[in-house]
Amino acid sequence: MDRINELIKLIEEANYNYYYLDKPTISDQEYDRYMQELIRLEQKYPQYKKEDSPTVRVGGIVLEEFEKTTHNIPMLSISNVFNEEDIRNFDLKIKKENINPEYVCELKIDGLAISLTYKNGLLVRGATRGDGLIGEDVTNNIKTINSIPLKLNQNIDIEVRGEVYMSKKVFTELNKNRKDKFMNTRNAAAGSIRQLDSKICKSRKLDCFIYHLPNPLDYDINTHHEALEFMKSLGFIVNDNNKYLKNIDEVIEFINNYTKKRKELPYEIDGIVIKLNKINDQQKLGNTSRYPKWLTAYKFPAEEITTRLKDIVFTVGRTGKVVPNAVLEPVLIQGSIVSRATLHNEKFILDKDIRINDIVSVVKAGDVIPAVVEVKKDRRRNNNKFKMITYCPICNSKLVKKEEASHYCINESCDARKIETLIHFCERNAMNIEGLGESILEEFYNMGYIKTIDDIYYLSKYKDELSNLFGYGEKSINKLLESIENSKSNSLERLLYGLGIRQVGLKTAKTLAKKYKNIDNLINSNEEELSNISDIGPIIINNILSYFNNKDNIRLINNLKRNNLNMEYISKNEKKNVNITGKTFVITGSLSISREQIKDIIEENGGKVTDSVTNKTDILILGKDAGSKYEKAKKLNKEIWNEDVFKSKI
Ligand code: IVH
């Protein structure tokens, strides 16, 4: 009996630390050992088994079908808004009712809604939304979810609502081992909670956030924000990314902020829920037959859209790489019309068996370059498989297949390659020459004004001619020439990146500029010296050496020097901070500041950020839901800072 109580205490404490405080105190193995011992003891002495024992979470009951259960308070849907104008209208409507609104915004978790009922502090029922009035009793499955408390910190009667979801990590693992893959985390969560065998549900490692208290006044609670705190204090997991906001401008700022952070979260969200904070105000507004009027959901624009692939065309990049692109029936994705999408290479097209005239689904990968993700083969009418071209579409020279799947035009003087080189040089992250965008560069190239990079700096000679030909007004031609002139004083890393040395991205260019200080030092460097720089591997070293071994490139650099381009690294006053300067950091888990921001702060203060925890790591910055990096850092006895510690150190 004593040991049973002791084990329950140990397990509950471990659950609390793991799920509630995000600070696991015992290993998974230790946790399992306690659990196994408790199961054994409860089997031996069933008279001592408690009805809220943590072992009740272990599944095992197989049902024929779920029982139906009626919701005392209907589980309504919520209305949606899709843009800023809609959000402001929502606010105006509330103000029209003589309410001075204050809001709470929360993440809209992409899972399925559930209702949990507790009697005397014990979980007695878990139900799905169903049609809003009648749902399915999924109590046994709900009990397998570790983040749902079986017993509350107070012996009260209460109903709460929330979202059962599957984390991105669990979803990826689950799909890896499945032939019949789940489409998304929402389907996976819904499919799991509706398993009649609760063992299967348990194996799916679902999670749950609680976000709604249907009867707040019963507990003397007058605002939604208080309701969240109250539910948290009872032992529920409430998503911490919620915020009290004074007005609709702050709501919009919150939305913009999380639209950016969305990808970094360890679970999927499909929007932001905007809720009126004061319960009085909520009640004043009431419901329509379908949804409450006091809240709404801003839905992120759809990311995946189906359309027809009209044609496949080819572009030649500055390295000569030939990339197939889909020409699409234009569609609106994330607020912009998309009519092209990358098809990457021959292998990508053949693996997916993409054909002209197919109906395809398109996403905006990384929010920028749209990509074809799926072909609707059941709607196919074309019997001809895709065939890769064998000659350069621009200069007609024979293509060479390198690596596994990429085709290259190896003609150095192929026009497409030259134009792409110019575009890259002028690009925002490179020399940042405003006014020399893709199409104008193509025109200048075709008309012979700019054939090579150094020609850009002779453009002023043709000022009058250009004004006549392209109809430039005095102001705009001056602006263009000024922008070219300004680019001459860029710091070295922009030039290095702009020159387009293969695989020398922005980061490598920065590292090189910082180390060598001017271009001559870099030109005179050698393999040994370069290989001492961490982060630069042998392939990049080889590319750097062969770039500066090429006489044409040296001629170009000399020409640029003659045009007074700066070739020195201009340091941006690196700050010093004893906690950070010279130290190596790894960032893991989800944090409220973006990783890029944290990285920038560390680098500004003279620290370094790497991807994996090794002996060289000094400090791990720990966010929520961290995994193996956290384990490794602990093992290697590394210093660990959570977000608050990080903030205090800077
Ligand atoms: S509030 C009356 N808050 O989104 C309260 N719903 O598309 C109604 N959802 O049915 C729910 N995250 O399943 C609320 N933070 C959140 C939510 C949320 C996800 C779901 C919920 C709802 C659906 C509507």
pLDDT tens for each residue of 33-43: 788 788 889 88
**164 in contact with ligand 1, CB cutoff 6 A:** no
CA 467 to chain centre: 45
Residue 183 has pLDDT above 70, yes or no: no
Predicted structure pTM score: 0.48
The mean predicted confidence, pLDDT, of the chain is 88
- Ligand 1 centroid, distance to 113 Cα (angstroms): 7
Burial label, 562 (beta-carbon count in 10 A; 0-12, 13-18, 19+) = exposed
Query: What percent of the chain shows pLDDT beyond 70?
Result: 93
Ligand 1 atom closest to residue 107's alpha carbon, by position in its atom list: 15
Say how many CA atoms lie within 13 Å of 499 toward its Cβ: 24
Ligand 1 center to residue 78 CA distance, Å?
A: 7
**303-408 carries CATH number 2.40.50.140:** yes
Residue 485: band (very low, low, confident or very high) from pLDDT cuts 50, 70, 90:
very high
Kindly give the distance from the C-alpha atom of residue 163 to the centroid of ligand 1, in angstroms, as a whole number: 7
Q: What CA–CA distance (Å, rounded) separates 473 from 479? A: 10
Phi, psi of 384 (to 5 degrees): -95, 120
pLDDT digits (tens, 9 = 90+) for 567-576: 999 876 556 7
Q: Indicate if ligand 1 lies below 6 Å from the C-beta of 148.
A: no
DSSP 590: B
Model confidence at 20, pLDDT cuts 50, 70, 90, reads very low
Beta bridge partners of 299: 271
Of 289-303, 399-413, 586-600, which has the strongest mean pLDDT? 399-413
The predicted-structure confidence for 521-558, as pLDDT tens digits, reads as follows: 999 999 999 998 877 889 999 999 999 999 999 999 99
**Ligand 1 center–CA 79 separation, angstroms:** 10
CATH architecture of 415-562: Orthogonal Bundle (1.10)
Q: What are phi and psi of 541, to 5 degrees?
A: -55, -45
CB 110 less than 6 A from any atom of ligand 1: no
CB of 274 shorter than 6 A to ligand 1: no
Beta bridge partners of 81: 298
User: Is residue 593 predicted with pLDDT exceeding 90?
Assistant: no
| Architecture, CATH, for domain 2-56 | Orthogonal Bundle (1.10)
Report which of residues 525 and 470 the model is more confident about.
Answer: 525
Q: Which of 23, 93, 96, 108 is catalytic?
A: 108
Give pLDDT, residue 418.
Answer: 94
Three-state DSSP class for 551?
helix
Q: How far apart are CA 304 and CA 287, in angstroms?
A: 32
Question: Is 158 touching ligand 1 by the criterion CB < 6 Å?
Answer: no
Nearest CA to ligand 1 atom 21: 113
Confidence (pLDDT) at 302: 58
Q: Measured from the CB, is residue 268 less than 6 Å from ligand 1?
A: no
Q: What is the CA radius of gyration of the chain?
A: 30
Q: Which atom of ligand 1 is nearest to the CA of 292?
A: 2
The alpha carbon of 619 and the centre of ligand 1 are apart by a number of angstroms equal to 38
Tokens of residue 112, six digits: 């399925």
Instruction: Write the DSSP symbol of residue 391.
Output: B
Q: What letter would DSSP give residue 70?
A: E
* Bigger pLDDT: 86 vs 290: 86
Residue identified by tokens 């085709």 is 407
What is the pLDDT at residue 152?
A: 96
Q: How confident is the model at residue 64 (pLDDT cuts 50, 70, 90)?
A: low
Q: What is the pLDDT of residue 582?
A: 83
- Checking if the pLDDT of 367 tops 50, the result is no
| Res 335 pLDDT > 70 | no
d(CA 355, CA 387): 9
CATH 3.30.470.30 fits 68-299, yes or no: yes
Calculate how far, in angstroms, residue 224's C-alpha sits from the geometric centre of ligand 1.
14
Fold of 584-649: Rossmann fold (3.40.50)
Token digits for 36?
């196994």
Instruction: Check if 68-299 and 415-562 are the same fold.
Output: no
- Which residues does 572 contact at the CB level (< 8 Å), separation at least 6? 604
Q: What is the pLDDT of residue 1?
A: 76
Q: Which of 212, 276, 294, 295 to mutate to test the pocket of ligand 1 (most atoms within 8 A of CB)?
A: 212
> Is 451 an annotated catalytic residue?
no
Handedness of CA 588, 594, 595, 601 (dihedral sign): negative
Structural domain spans, the chain = 2-56, 68-299, 303-408, 415-562, 584-649
What are the DSSP calls for 293-321, one per residue? TTEEEEEPPPSEEEEEEEEEEEEE-TT-E
Residues near 41 by beta carbon (within 8 Å), at least 6 away in sequence: 3, 4, 7, 48
Q: Can you give the pLDDT at residue 278?
A: 97
What is the pLDDT, as a whole number, of residue 62?
40
- Ligand 1 neighbour 109 (Cβ under 6 A): yes
Could you write out the DSSP letters of every residue in 432-500? --TT--HHHHHHHHHTTS-SSGGGGGGGGGGHHHHHHHH---HHHHHHHHHHHHHHTT--HHHHHHHHT
Task: From the CA of 129, give the closest atom in ligand 1.
Answer: 10
